[in-house]
Structure 1
Amino acid sequence: MSDLARPGLTACIITFNEADRIEACLASLDFCDEIVVVDSGSSDGTAERAAALGARVLTRAFDGYRRQKDFAVQQAAHDWVLCLDADERVTPELRAAILAARAAGFAAAGYRFARCTEYFGAFLRHGNAYPDRVLRLFDRRRGGWRGEREIHEHVSVDGPVERLAGDLEHRAYRSLADQLRRLERYAQLMAEHDQARGRRARLLNLVVNPGWRFVRGFVLRAGFLDGWRGLIYAWVEANYVRQKFIKLWLLNRGQRIA
């Protein structure tokens, strides 16, 4: 396919205080025709650094992960978009797969690929952490960041979805403290989301669900093959589930959780 007929591609990223990670993210996207960064008021120079690296930077007050990502997609100059977070990077193998799909004219409505999470100096390759396939490359005319949920948001498209080879690197946590802070916030957001939609937490949820998350990830999905990293990851994940249902239990009973 000639360059003139080749579909244009915009990378879309949302940021907040990611100055230490934005450069590596943008460098992995240098094959895209355009990079759009939507920043929600960073105070560490993220927006300035992204602009210096060639991204088109927009500022928008944060009102939810899904809304922020949808806004970024709508600002793209091209209908084909590749959505990343600032802590993610396209690997060479995934880059080659994306370029091959693009050269073939993007035959599907969207594409999924595996995401691998870096955890204490190594990438997790088992358990609930991997392959963690995500749909991030898609035709915005046929889908996008749909639904009402602002946490654990996801893309859906109307049409066929294919898988691409290669991994999206996810360098999610700067430290254990950073992970625990994030998951505590996510647990609150999910509890509030479920409460608003009438979901009720039961004692069984507080006891069984965290244990099931651990068993599923560490045993059934072989998280133990990641060694001590897999154990810690599975245990922290189970704790997130526990927090979510405790918070929902309290909200169901009119109690404050923050």
Structure 2
Amino acid sequence: MTAPQPLTGVVVTLNEEDRLADCLRSLDFCDELLVIDSHSTDRTRELAAEFGAQVIERDWPGFMAQKEFGTRAAQNDWVLFLDADERLSATLRDEIVALRAEGFPARAGWRMPRTTSYLGAWIRHGTWTPDLQLRLFDRRRGHYGGTDPHAYVVVDGPVGRLAGTILHDTYRNLGEHLAIIDRYTEVAAERMSEKGRRARPSDLVLRPAVHFLRAYLFKLGFLDGWRGLLLAYLGAHYVRLKYARLMARQRSRPTPRPDDACPGTFGASPD
């Protein structure tokens, strides 16, 4: 028989005292629990220690870098990531336990669907579903990539799919949702600017409208009632704000003076 494959559960935290217990409880079958905390001011670190987790406190370098740090800090090659506001369903937990007993055969990683609760109800339609997440992987063949704030796992090898779900208890209230939109769009605009992306006035009109129509009509968000309408609206708001901030960044760049121009350009500013 194949020996069970050692597994590390990893959670990245910041002030998650009220939600962390359910997350760590769902990971208690892991051989190691690792919590990477960015200087929480509540009892997050103490609570994690009570669950037997190793706690590493470090500054916040960004989503991708923090999760990649957790990947490399784990003692085991197979790692399972959850956010503090997530937990494994009973079905998903049983699937992972069975795979672990078999040594996670013939795969570099495993995707699993995520179902999100928003303001008191589970969301079944719109752009939040289906929401497949690659969270279980062999770190020898995988790493965190993407662009902040949307980091994701990249693996070299075949990927399986599990049936059980990650249960995601997202924003505590509407105010928190709006605050995260504000923070995430600032980060996204900065990353887009660093990559040389540019925004046009049409992006402020067309892209949000396309997102709203896709989320509310084509992805059947209206079937989630007022929550579906609100999510489609806030998704469009996210898109508009992201491109507005990108445009503000490019418009605030200083225009070169004529005497700073390269020879032969006659002082023309770059496009």
What is the TM-score of this pair, normalised by structure 1?
Answer: 0.95
Q: Secondary structure of 2:164's partner?
A: strand
- Offset, 1:103: 2.8
Rounded to whole Å, the distance in 2 between the matches of 1:70 and 1:48 is: 23
Structure 1 residue aligned with 2:159: 161
Structure 1 residue aligned with 2:51: 53
Matched, 1:144 2:174: no
Matched, 1:69 2:53: no
Larger Rg: 2
Q: Secondary structure of 1:141's partner?
A: coil
Rounded to whole Å, the distance in 2 between the matches of 1:204 and 1:18 is: 39
Runs (4+) of structure 1 moved beyond 4 Å? none
Letter of the 2:79 partner, please give it: V
Rounded to whole Å, the distance in 2 between the matches of 1:159 and 1:244 is: 34
Structure 1 residue aligned with 2:114: 115
- Offset, 1:56: 0.7
Rounded to whole Å, the distance in 1 between the matches of 2:116 and 2:211 is: 18
Long gaps (5+) in structure 1: none
Structure 2 residue aligned with 1:224: 222
What is the TM-score of this pair, normalised by structure 2?
Answer: 0.90
Structure 2 residue aligned with 1:212: 210
Over residues 107-157 of structure 1, what are the superposed CA-to-partner deviations in whole Å (9 max), with x where a residue is unaligned?
A: 21011111111111111011101121111100000011135x231011100
Rounded to whole Å, the distance in 2 between the matches of 1:211 and 1:150 is: 24
Rounded to whole Å, the distance in 2 between the matches of 1:131 and 1:166 is: 13
Rounded to whole Å, the distance in 1 between the matches of 2:40 and 2:154 is: 29
Rounded to whole Å, the distance in 2 between the matches of 1:166 and 1:218 is: 26
Rounded to whole Å, the distance in 2 between the matches of 1:101 and 1:183 is: 37
Letter of the 2:64 partner, please give it: R
- Offset, 1:101: 2.3
Rounded to whole Å, the distance in 1 between the matches of 2:124 and 2:139 is: 31
Structure 2 residue aligned with 1:39: 37
- Offset, 1:73: 1.2
Over residues 7-57 of structure 1, what are the superposed CA-to-partner deviations in whole Å (9 max), with x where a residue is unaligned?
A: 111001110110111111101111111110011100101001110111111
Over residues 219-247 of structure 1, what are the superposed CA-to-partner deviations in whole Å (9 max), with x where a residue is unaligned?
A: 11111111111111111111101100100
Figure out how many residues of one structure are paired with residues of the other and give that number: 252
Long gaps (5+) in structure 2: 254-271
Rounded to whole Å, the distance in 2 between the matches of 1:9 and 1:196 is: 36
Matched, 1:125 2:104: no
Match of 2:199 among 201, 219, 230: 201
Rounded to whole Å, the distance in 1 between the matches of 2:21 and 2:103 is: 29
Q: Secondary structure of 2:55's partner?
A: strand
In angstroms, what is the RMSD of aligned CA positions? 1.2
Rounded to whole Å, the distance in 1 between the matches of 2:163 and 2:29 is: 17
